[in-house]
Amino acid sequence: MPKPIFVLSGPNLNLLGVREPDIYGRETLADIDARCAARAALFGMAVDCRQSNHEGQLIDWVQEAREAASALVINPAGYGHTSVALLDALKTLAIPVIECHLSNPAAREAFRKTTYVSLAATGVVSGFGGTSYELAVEAAAGLAGAIRS
């Protein structure tokens, strides 16, 4: 089996289902992780889903992905708008990077319209709730060569 797709979720995403459900939905992160695993399995791949509220931990996982992952899906949450350090870590990757957001940042507050992560991302999926993660995993699988046309 190929290396897994790392699926990283940033700060406050551990509170999905209870935090601002009108924006982020009622699904929990565990629900979304299960959907990601099912989607990856369709392409003969696995996911390694992780969440942290700590910027340094996310950076450590991005660095780990350099050797251990076939692709990376990341929902940086608030760190997307603030973390040059996360951008610098992502720029070290030679694997596909898919930025993922539950909501559509372009349709929200002005400070959410730009993310540093986008500067290193191969592509961005946003605005589809939990399905954004599934679509990002599918894109990552395709870019990693698991989907043949």
* Chain segment 96-120, per-residue pLDDT in tens: 999 999 987 775 666 666 789 999 9
23-27, 53-57, 58-62, 108-112: which range is least confident on average? 108-112
Distance from C-alpha of 114 to C-alpha of 85, rounded to nearest angstrom: 16
> How does the average pLDDT of the chain come out, rounded?
92
Residue 21 in this model has a pLDDT that exceeds 80: no
The larger pLDDT score, comparing residue 140 to residue 19, is at: 140
Dist CA 25 CA 4 (whole Å):
27
Here the contacts of 126-129 (C-beta below 8 Å, separation 24 or greater) are: 126/99, 126/100, 126/101, 126/102, 127/101, 127/102, 127/103, 128/102, 129/24, 129/25, 129/27, 129/102
pLDDT at 149 over 60: no
Is 54 annotated in the active site? no
Q: Which of 24, 79, 116, 133 is catalytic?
A: 24
Contacts of 116 (CB under 8 A, 6+ apart): 80, 81, 82, 83, 84, 86, 87
Q: Which of 54, 79, 81, 101 is catalytic?
A: 101
What pLDDT is stored for residue 57 in this prediction?
Answer: 98
Active site residue 79: no
Q: What ranges do the domains of the chain cover?
A: 5-109+117-143
CATH code assigned to 5-109+117-143 = 3.40.50.9100
